[in-house]
Structure 1
Amino acid sequence: MKSVALILAGGFGQRMQQEVPKQFLNIDDKPLVIYTLEAFQRHPDIEKILVVCIDGWHEALRAYGRQFHIHKLEWIISGGSTSQESIRNGVLFLKDKCETDDIVVIHDGIRPLVEERVLSDVIEKCRIYGNAVTSMPYNEQIFVKEDENTTCEYIPRDRLKRVSTPQAYLFGKLNWAYKKAFSENIGTSASSYANTMMVDLGEKLYFAKGSDKNIKITTQDDLDILKALLRMKR
């Protein structure tokens, strides 16, 4: 059983209002996505890395991989119009490269501060249960809209978990799920992801450890938080 990382770097990030895709923004002389790839490069359980990358940036990513010694970066392929399509592209690409019981770790390329302990736990939980999703407690109050201005219902916080990436799945189950989902149009909307699709297909998911530092870089504010966290880390 080996572990392969499937990193999503296929979006452009319009909300960032930059001239380059946000995953390639330069942070302290290093592209954002390289911080992400370094975490997987360092982890002893990750054997190879596949990046699903925005068109026109494949060669740049390959060059950055050489520059920053990302030796596990094995493959770079094109993404789709949504995250789900990009993950599906990655899964289909791995069909002849992974065994049924290999582990595929899916992660957003714009979550650059994934910690080793988080990766270790999601892989270990997947070995035990067949899948694992990074999770954290939900500490805010959630109310259900009655209309745009009122509510009379809330969801108790102890029933909620925040989930993000990394997520890990046995390849055989992941391959089956994406074939079924896209052939039957189940869990394939623009807002769907591997975890929500699995639940839509009737699968049970297992929680793994998360971290508040594992932020997703979506806006300029997120970028400022990342820079502050990197300064603290140094």
Structure 2
Amino acid sequence: MDFPVFVVLPGSGVGLRFGSPTPKQYTCIKDKPLFLYTVHAFHRLPWVQAVVVVVAPSDISCVQQLLEENHLTRVRVAAGGKTRHRSIYNGVKALRNVCRGNDVLLIHDIVRVLADESVVMNVAKAAKLYGAAGITRPLTSTVIAKDSDGFLSESLDRTKYLASEMPQGFHFDIINTAYEKATEYDFEFGTECLHLASKYTGTKASLVEGLDNLWKVTYRKDIFAAEGILTENLSSVFIEEGSPRYRESIVASLNSENLMVSSEKSPLCRDSGFIFFLPLGSSESNKATRISNIRVLMKKITSNHFEDDCDRQSNGSLPDCKKESASNFCDSSIQTHNNECSNCSFLANKTVVVLMEINRSDRGRDIENIRERLLEAPFPDKVYVSVVVFHNESNLHTLGDMTASLLRNQHSGMNCQIYYAQ
């Protein structure tokens, strides 16, 4: 992209249809509020200069803290208004000191967690060329109207209409002028930004066909779909080279759970799951050293770092990670570091599963010894390590399913637990 792009994410609504006292944007998926996934989807694009998150005034301090904890440095927070358009306008005004003229401003719902880079780029380019652009999708249901008595009055030909989706893009001066001229009625009852641009600036929006994953979280059931898609899209599992017999069974179980197996020969920061082997006959000293090395490895992988510092060459070396200082969100300036690692998995946790083969007769002693090794020193926060103990008579299907379940669920209650695959 050879022009600056900025993003406004309105997220100050209460989500009445969601049916929960907690607004949907703050509902957690794998220990992270939903809105953070949307912010990250744009923040990880190096050509996005800055993101404005618009939230209820009472939520500002909490949201700032969450952004800081997750090292989302090119983000500022603005106070939302009583309606959607008032909130968006507040986000537009928050960018007046850095975004101007024909710079492109994108508007995207904060509960639309999936923002495919190619789609976002297409909207940004169309907006740059035509002044305004929006994503559309074909209608999948017939649209009908009812009369004052509640009976069917007409049915519309859905082939003539499209569903308006997000993101939408504008020249900054076009959307800013549209809001400056908007009436109180527009702010109170309007929903379509493209309509405002057309009504008050005469700008005809270019319509770009989008993908079928542009839906937003509206009802509680949508959370489960979002979790499944995010888990599948944002994670990969690294499997250490081990016995082909065991590895094939585990890969089959991971595939059945729609977990992507990493093709890399060494673990990377973008992986969210890690499988290591402790072979039969390992001495107590070797086990202790092995657990210690895994602990050090996870500390390196989970350290905050810049992309320029990460060695991802095929030589198998690990990232050389440097600690990034926290953002100062009281500063009105927007930080513009574009080299943060865009490959990091954004799932909240990283799960390590150690597969330890034992002699069946020594099960009790081996389990106690490995428990001591796990508790000797803590793993980094949000790294959950489990050990699955098995022997040559264990059911391979059970071993694979148990491992896949631990990696998919990523729950703190599984930390430092030992499981026995019979």
| 1:105/1:168 contact within 8 Å kept | yes
Alignment partner, residue 166 of structure 1: 167
Cα distance in 2 between the residues matched to 1:140 and 1:15: 20
Q: How many residues align?
A: 230
Partner SS for 2:91 = helix
Distance 1:104 1:20 in 2: 29
Is this contact kept in 2: 1:12–1:54, CA < 8 A?
no
Q: Aligned-pair distance for 1:176?
A: 0.9
Provide the residue aligned with 1:218 in structure 2.
218
CA distance in 2, matches of 1:150, 1:27: 40
Q: Is the contact between residue 174 and residue 197 of structure 2 (CA under 8 Å) also seen in structure 1?
A: no
Distance between the aligned counterparts of 1:175 and 1:135, measured in 2? 23
Aligned twin of 1:228: 228
Q: Does 1:23 align with 2:44?
A: no
1:155 to partner: Cα distance:
2.5
Name the counterpart of 1:44: 46
Q: Runs (4+) of structure 1 moved beyond 6 Å?
A: none
Of residues 12, 15, 20, the one that matches 2:14 is 12
Q: Is this contact kept in 2: 1:83–1:193, CA < 8 A?
A: no
Q: Residues 178 and 214 from structure 1, CA distance in 2 versus in 1: closer, same or farther, beyond 3 angstroms?
A: same
In 2, are the aligned partners of 1:186 and 1:197 still within 8 Å (CA)?
A: no
Counterpart amino acid of residue 142 in structure 2: Q
Counterpart CA distance in 2 for 1:206 and 1:56 is 37
Q: Take 1:127 and 1:203, find their aligned partners in 2: how far apart are those partners?
A: 12
| 2:183 paired with 1:155 | no
Map 1:1-234 → 2, pairs under 5 A: 1-73=3-75, 75-147=76-148, 148-151=150-153, 153-182=154-183, 185=184, 187-201=186-200, 202-233=202-233, 234=235
Q: Residue 358 of structure 2 aligns with which residue? A: none
The whole-number CA distance in structure 2 between the counterparts of 1:18 and 1:2 is 38
Distance 2:158 2:46 in 1: 36
How many Å separate the matches in 1 of 2:137 and 2:128? Answer: 20
Higher relative contact order (CA 8 A, sep 6+): 1
Shift of 1:121: 0.8
Instruction: Report what 2:411 is aligned to.
Output: none
Note the C-alpha offset of 1:191.
4.4
User: Could you tell me the percent identity over the aligned residues?
Assistant: 27
Conserved? CA contact 1:2–1:45, under 8 Å: yes
**TM-fit CA distance, 1:25:** 1.3
- My pick for the range that moved more, 211-220 or 78-87, is 211-220
**Does structure 2 conserve the Cα–Cα contact (< 8 Å) formed by 1:186 and 1:200?**
no
CA contact (8 A) 1:188 1:197 kept: no
Q: Name the CA distance, whole Å, in 2 between partners of 1:101 and 1:19.
A: 40
Contact 1:4 1:48 survives alignment (8 Å): yes
CA distance in 1, matches of 2:156, 2:199: 21
| Offset of residue 213 of structure 1 | 1.4
Residues 114 and 214 of structure 1 are in contact (CA less than 8 Å); yes or no, is this contact kept in structure 2? yes
**Amino acid in structure 2 at the alignment position of 1:108:** D
3-state SS of 1:96 partner: coil
Q: Is the radius of gyration larger for structure 1 or structure 2?
A: 2
Displacement of 1:145 after TM fit? 2.9
Structure 1 residue 18: deviation in Å?
Answer: 2.9
Q: 1:181 to 1:16 in 2, by over 3 A?
A: same
Q: Deviations over 1:37-62 (max 9, x none)?
A: 11101112211111111122212222
- For structure 1, which segment, 113-122 or 185-194, has the greater mean C-alpha deviation from structure 2 after superposition? 185-194
Computed over aligned residues only, the root mean square deviation of the Cα atoms, in angstroms, reads 1.9
Query: Structure 2, unaligned stretches of length 5 or more?
Result: 236-422
Distance in 1, Cα, partners of 2:164 & 2:173:
22
Farther off after superposition, 171-180 or 11-20: 11-20
